[in-house]
Amino acid sequence: MRFADRRAFLGATAAVVVAGTIAAPAIADEPIRVVATTGMIADIAREIGGDAVSVKALMGPGVDPHAYRQTRTDIVSMAQADLVLWNGLYLEAQMEEFLGDIAERTSVVAVAEQVAPEHLVSHDDYQDRFDPHVWMNPELWQDVVLATRDALIEVSPGQSQAFMAATDAYLAEVAAIGSYATDVLSSVPEQARVLITAHDAFNYFGEAYGFDVIGIQGISTESEAGLARIRELVDLLVERDVRAVIVESSVSDRSVRALIEGAEARGHDVSIGGELFSDAMGAPGTYEGTYIGMIDHNATTISAALGGTAPERGLNGRLNAGS
């Protein structure tokens, strides 16, 4: 898009923004207005910024970031923000153009793009692109925490000491959930480390914890090819003595039932091992609605379902408490 076109586009999309609301530098005792695309990124900004920030996440629980497009309310929020944080790496595919335009008037930072390229996994579907789901590995997520800290300091340098201290404390929590995940997942028998999943959200997870991540999406139980694939997966479950299929809520019941029935027919009992959080956290105000709680839930659920040892309520004793 040429420059003039971009201005015209911004003018059109930002027409709902009332005059005089264009982002101005934050006044000392007014909170810094931060808008984050995903809940995971908003969580970092709240942890680091504390009372010095007011943070809004655009995407709530159950929202698919790959398909999400900004609403009129989102456009107003972003135009009024002092800082807009997004994941990048093509996660917010439908918002990229708008984010490019809004970057001409306020600070916009793609925090996951600060992860060193040598740590990124290449994308299954796109050449020259990387897998955006870096939050699945807490070790890589630490780089994203640091990128968020730097973005906040850039907007409000006077508060850098407080931001740095809060960042150190949060990094320790992220490191702790990473070690916990390593511990409970390494207790799963090696041959049972298999994750059957609906989309490609778990590649970083698989790499970090030594799990085979196998896609089930798009398998039709009506076509020959679909049935052949189901048979292949049943073979794998039986041969590797995998006792549970871990699914995401978006995997079709039909494919899962076909797998479980196929295994049963071979005398191998398989159960459904619980749901995982993939692209969004749990409900706001619950432990699972935080990044730490999300990873705790996933690691604890997978470990328990596949024969590992994990405390029922997770690392912090807070899983499934509803708060």
Which residues lie near Zn ion (CB under 5 A)? 201, 279
Least distance between Zn ion and beta carbon 201 (Å): 4
Least distance between Zn ion and beta carbon 83 (Å): 24
> 247 - beta bridge partners?
275
- Smaller CB distance to Zn ion: residue 23 or 201? 201
- Smaller CB distance to Zn ion: residue 53 or 201? 201
**Residue that is written with structure tokens 């490019």 in the block:** 100
DSSP codes joined into one string, 40-80? HHHHHHHHHHGGGEEEEESS-TT--TTT----HHHHHHHHH
CA-wise closest residue to 321 among 289, 273, 291: 289
Least distance between Zn ion and beta carbon 50 (Å): 29
- Smaller CB distance to Zn ion: residue 68 or 209? 68
Token pair in block for residue 323: 């708060």
d(CA 202, CA 5): 38
Least distance between Zn ion and beta carbon 302 (Å): 17
- Smaller CB distance to Zn ion: residue 26 or 201? 201
- Smaller CB distance to Zn ion: residue 98 or 204? 204
- Residue type at 204? Y
Least distance between Zn ion and beta carbon 196 (Å): 16
d(CA 34, CA 169): 20
> 100 - beta bridge partners?
none
Neighbours of 23 (CB within 10 A): 18
- Smaller CB distance to Zn ion: residue 81 or 89? 89
Least distance between Zn ion and beta carbon 94 (Å): 13
d(CA 195, CA 20): 51
